Amino acid sequence: MTSEAVARTKGPVRIVGTGLLGTSIGLALTKLGVEVLLEDASPANLKLAADYGAGRPAEASDQPKVIVVCVPPDVTSAVVQRELDEFPKAVVTDVASVKSQVLEELRDCSADLTRYVGSHPMAGRERGGAISGRADLFVGRPWVISAAPESSLAAIAAVEDLAIDLGSAPLKVSANEHDRAVALVSHVPQLVASLLAARLIAAEGSDVSLAGQGLRDTTRIAASDPKLWTQILAANSSEVAPVLKAFEADVHAVVESLENLGMPGSLAQISRALEAGNRGIERIPGKHGTKQTTYAQVIVMIADKPGELGRLFNEVGDVGVNIEELKLEHSPSSPIGLVELYVLPAVEKKLITDLESRGWKIAG
Amino acid sequence: MTSEAVARTKGPVRIVGTGLLGTSIGLALTKLGVEVLLEDASPANLKLAADYGAGRPAEASDQPKVIVVCVPPDVTSAVVQRELDEFPKAVVTDVASVKSQVLEELRDCSADLTRYVGSHPMAGRERGGAISGRADLFVGRPWVISAAPESSLAAIAAVEDLAIDLGSAPLKVSANEHDRAVALVSHVPQLVASLLAARLIAAEGSDVSLAGQGLRDTTRIAASDPKLWTQILAANSSEVAPVLKAFEADVHAVVESLENLGMPGSLAQISRALEAGNRGIERIPGKHGTKQTTYAQVIVMIADKPGELGRLFNEVGDVGVNIEELKLEHSPSSPIGLVELYVLPAVEKKLITDLESRGWKIAG
C-alpha cells in the first residue's frame, strides 16, 4: 500500500526502545526507504528488532534528524531529556500513553522544549515486544500530537509527517486534554474491567459455567499487562482518580438502593442508573469516526468446521451486500456456530432472501 | 435441523406471555408438531405471535399438559400461581431470570409445588418482543432447571424434555445457586457496564473521539432494557448487593491508592488489582464449554467493500484452516478493515503462508 509512496519524513530517524511500538515504527519507515537507527537498553531486544528489518543498530557517529522515544512511561522523560542533550539539532518525540507528566518533568529540568513534541499513537496490541511489531500497526488510527506551547512549528510538522508516513491521522490535542480523555475512555475502563474480573477468582466453578457473552466482553481487557498498566495509571493518577471516584459513588448509590429496596426511590435510582448507561454508550462514535449507526442483525447458523465461513462469506459477497460488523458465536455445548452479520437496515431483507434461497439457515 | 425430529414434549403446551422467549418457544414447538396455545395480556401481542406461527390463541376449553410462563419477573409468581390453580393437572414452569424469589412467593401462598419447576434458558437478544422471536433461540445454550424439593420427578422430566426439544442443554441448578451465579456472571457485569457508560454522558466530544475497542467492549451491554433489568436486579438484590459491594470496596481501594501514590504500598496495590484481573478472566470457560484456549491471532487487511470478506473466507476455507473466533475491526478514519482471525496455534504459520501466497496482506 505504501511501497510506491514517498516519505515526508527526512531521516535518519533514531528509535530508542525497540518494543512493539518502536519496532513497528522502524518497520514502517524502513519500508518507506527512510534510514532507521535503533537503540535499546537490551542488546538482545535491539538485535531482534534489527533482524526483523526495523533498522540498523545506532552508531556513535549517527546524526539523526528525528528521534522517537518508545520506552516505558516511567523512564520516558529521562530518555527524552538525554536525547535532547545528546542530539542538539534533532526533533524528539515520544509515544507514552500519558502526556502531561512527561512534559512537566521535562520543564522541571529545563529541557529545550522547542525541539520536543509529545505524541501518542492510539494503536497497540495485547501482546507486546519486537516479535509482535508490524509495519501497519498505525494505519488508520488516530495519532495524538500534544505540542507544548514552546514547541517550534518545524518540530510539530516533523512529528505530523511521521504520523502521516505511518498511515495515521494526526490529531492535535493538548497534553492535559489527552490525559483527561484517555482517563475516561481507556484508563478507567481498564481498571473497572480488571476489578470486575477479579470478582471471579473466588467463584464456584458451576457459577462461571453460566457465563455468557456479556461477561466476556466486559472483562476482555482485564488480560492486559499489569506492569505496563500500573505505570500508565500511576502517571495519569490525577485524571484517573476523580473519574474512578465518581464511578465509585455511582456504584455506592446502587449498592445502597439494592440493600434498601423498600425505601422510596430505590427502584427509581436503579432504573436511572441503567438509563444513564443507555445514554452513555450513545456518546461513543461508530466506525470510520462517524456517528454510530444502528445496523440490522442477520444470524446465520453454520457447522463449526473449515470452509463453512468461506462458503458463507463468498455467497454474501456474491449477493453484493457489505458486512458492517460481524461476530462469530459458538454454542457453549454444541459444535454449531452462529454468525451474526450486521448490515445496513436497507439491505437486510435482500440479504436474508438471497441467503435463504442459497440454502442457508437464517434465524427468525 | 429439527424438522424430522420427534418431540419428547407431550402437548398441548400453553405459553403465557408472547414476548421474545414465549414466541421463540412457541415457534420451536410448532415446528416440532407440538400443539401450542398462546395467551397474552395484550391482544395485539397475542395476535402478532400467532401470526408469526408461534401457535394459536388459547381457548377456554383447552387442557394443556405443560404451561410455560414467560411474563416479566415482577408478575411471574402471580401468573404461575394462577396457572397452577386453573389447570390442576398441568406441569407449570417459568423462564424468569431470577429463581428464588418466585419460589418463595409461591411457597408463601401455598401453591402446589409438586407440579412447578422453575427454569431459566440462558439465551436472549438485546432486542425483545415477538418480532425478535426465533425458533433456534435456545439451540446449544444451557437451560437452567431449578427444581424445588417439592417438585415431582414427572414434572422435572417434563421441563427437561421441553429444554431438550428446544435444542438446549438442561442444567440442574438449585434456585439459590442459580441466583448466586447470575448475580456474579450477569447482573453485576450489567450494572458495572451501565455505570461505566454513564460516565461518558458528561464527556467532551473530543474526549470520546479517542475511544477504542476496549471502551466499546466494556460498555456494550449498557444498551440493555432498563425496565426489564430494574426488575431483574430488584428480584435478585440479596445476591447482587454483596457482590457489587465487594466490587465497590475494591474500587475504593484503588481510588485511595491513586490519590495517595506517595504512600508505601500504593503502587503495589494497583498492580495487585490488575494482576487479580488477569487471574479472574482465566476462570471464564471458553467456547463449547471447554477450558479457554489461547488462539493465535492472524490479522488480514482488507478493503472495506462488498465481496472482500467473501473472497478472504473462501480462501481461508480452501486452505483448510478452521477459524475459532474472528473480529472485524474498522479503522476509525479510513475505509480499511482489519480482520482478526483466531486459529489454533498449530495452524497459524500455514494460514499466514498460504494467505500471503494468495496475495493477502498479513500484519506482522
Residue B290 domain-assigned?
A: no
Residue B136 and residue B187 in one domain: no
Give A288 or B337, the one with higher predicted confidence. Answer: B337
Residue B169 and residue B22 in one domain: yes
Q: pLDDT band for position B332 (50/70/90)?
A: very low
**Stretch 7-66 of chain B: residues touching chain A, C-beta under 8 Å:** none
Asked if the Cβ–Cβ distance from A279 to B208 is below 8 Å, we say no
Asked if the Cβ–Cβ distance from B217 to A214 is below 8 Å, we say no
**Residue type at B62 in one-letter notation:** D
**pLDDT per position as a tens digit, B243-266:** 999 999 999 999 999 999 999 999
> What gap in Å lies between CA A3 and CA A19, rounded to an integer?
24
Residues A73, A93 contacting (CB under 8 angstroms) = no
Residues of A in contact with B361 (CB under 8 A): 1, 136
Nearest CA to B35 out of B46, B43, B23, B26 is that of B26
Residue B164 and residue B234 in one domain: no
Nearest CA to B84 out of B111, B62, B60 is that of B111
Q: pLDDT band for position B304 (50/70/90)?
A: low
Residue A218 domain-assigned?
A: yes
Residue A92 and residue A73 in one domain: yes
Residues of B in contact with A186 (CB under 8 A): 210, 212, 214-215
In the prediction, which pLDDT does B75 show?
A: 94
Residue A312 and residue A349 in one domain: yes
**pLDDT per position as a tens digit, B192-248:** 999 999 999 999 888 888 888 889 899 999 988 899 899 999 999 999 999 999 999
In the prediction, which pLDDT does B290 show?
A: 39
Residue A192 and residue A164 in one domain: no
CATH number for the domain that contains residue B74: 3.40.50.720
Nearest CA to A67 out of A117, A20, A1 is that of A117
In the prediction, which pLDDT does B204 show?
A: 86
Asked if the Cβ–Cβ distance from B185 to A201 is below 8 Å, we say no
**Residue type at B173 in one-letter notation:** V
Residue B24 and residue B169 in one domain: yes
Asked if the Cβ–Cβ distance from B284 to A219 is below 8 Å, we say yes
What single-letter DSSP state applies at residue A291?
A: P
Instruction: Enumerate residue ranges in chain A where pLDDT < 70.
Output: 1-5, 124-128, 286-294, 304-307, 328-337, 364
Residue B109 and residue B161 in one domain: yes
Nearest CA to A162 out of A299, A70, A278 is that of A70
DSSP string, A101-147: HHHHHHHHTT--GGGEEEEEES---SS-SGGG--TTTTTT-EEEEEE
Residues A333, B169 contacting (CB under 8 angstroms) = yes
Longest dimension (CA), chain A: 76
Nearest chain A residue to B20 by CA distance is A364
> What gap in Å lies between CA A283 and CA A106, rounded to an integer?
35
Residues of B in contact with A309 (CB under 8 A): 313, 316-317, 323, 326
Asked if the Cβ–Cβ distance from B255 to A244 is below 8 Å, we say yes
CA atoms within 13 A on the CB side of A295: 18
**pLDDT per position as a tens digit, B25-35:** 999 999 999 99
**Verdict on whether the full-model pTM lies above 0.80:** no
Per-residue cell: A168: 495515521
**CB atoms closer than 10 angstroms to residue B148:** 20
Per-residue cell: B350: 500455514
What single-letter DSSP state applies at residue B8?
A: S
Residue A1 domain-assigned?
A: no
**Stretch 67-96 of chain B: residues touching chain A, C-beta under 8 Å:** none
Q: pLDDT band for position B348 (50/70/90)?
A: confident
Residue A303 domain-assigned?
A: yes
Residue B83 and residue B232 in one domain: no
Last residue in a domain, options B145, B173, B201: B173
- pLDDT over threshold 60, residue B2: no
Nearest Cα of chain B lies from the Cα of A37 at a distance, in angstroms, of 20
Domain of residue A322 covers: 296-362
Residue A288 domain-assigned?
A: no
CATH number for the domain that contains residue B342: 3.30.70.260
Nearest CA to A136 out of B336, B357, B325 is that of B336
In the prediction, which pLDDT does A120 show?
A: 95
Residue B4 domain-assigned?
A: no
Residues of A in contact with B326 (CB under 8 A): 309, 326, 328
Residue from A191, A224, A257 whose CB has the most chain B CBs within 10 Å, to mutate: A191
Q: For the sheet containing B66-69, what is the strand order?
A: B56-57, B36-39, B13-16, B66-69, B91-94, B116-121, B142-147, B169-172
B191 alpha carbon, distance to own chain's centre: 15
In the prediction, which pLDDT does B292 show?
A: 46
In the prediction, which pLDDT does A330 show?
A: 53
Angle at A343 between CA A341 and CA A346, to 5 degrees: 145
Nearest Cα of chain B lies from the Cα of A299 at a distance, in angstroms, of 10
Last residue in a domain, options B281, B315, B348: B281
Q: For the sheet containing B336-343, what is the strand order?
A: A361-362, A296-303, A336-343, A325-330, B325-330, B336-343, B296-303, B361-362
Paired strand residues for A338: A301, A329
In the prediction, which pLDDT does B137 show?
A: 87
Residue B196 and residue B169 in one domain: no
Nearest Cα of chain A lies from the Cα of B251 at a distance, in angstroms, of 6
Asked if the Cβ–Cβ distance from A306 to B299 is below 8 Å, we say no
**CB atoms closer than 10 angstroms to residue A63:** 10
B245, with CB counted inside 10 A (0-12, 13-18, 19+), is middle
Residue B313 domain-assigned?
A: yes
**Stretch 206-265 of chain B: residues touching chain A, C-beta under 8 Å:** 206-212, 214-224, 226-227, 229-230, 233-234, 237, 240-241, 243-248, 250-252, 254-255, 258-259, 261
Residues A41, A16 contacting (CB under 8 angstroms) = no
> What gap in Å lies between CA B293 and CA A339, rounded to an integer?
20
CATH number for the domain that contains residue A195: 1.10.3660.10
Count of domains forming chain B: 3
Residues contacting B268, CB < 8 A, separation 6+: none
**pLDDT per position as a tens digit, A340-361:** 788 877 788 888 888 988 888 8
Asked if the Cβ–Cβ distance from B285 to A208 is below 8 Å, we say yes
Last residue in a domain, options A154, A173, A192: A173
Residue B167 and residue B21 in one domain: yes
**pLDDT per position as a tens digit, B118-157:** 999 988 665 667 778 888 888 878 899 999 999 999 999 9
Residue B2 domain-assigned?
A: no
Residues contacting A206, CB < 8 A, separation 6+: B173, B177, B181
Residue B49 and residue B198 in one domain: no
In the prediction, which pLDDT does B3 show?
A: 44
Nearest CA to A79 out of A39, A20, A129, A25 is that of A39
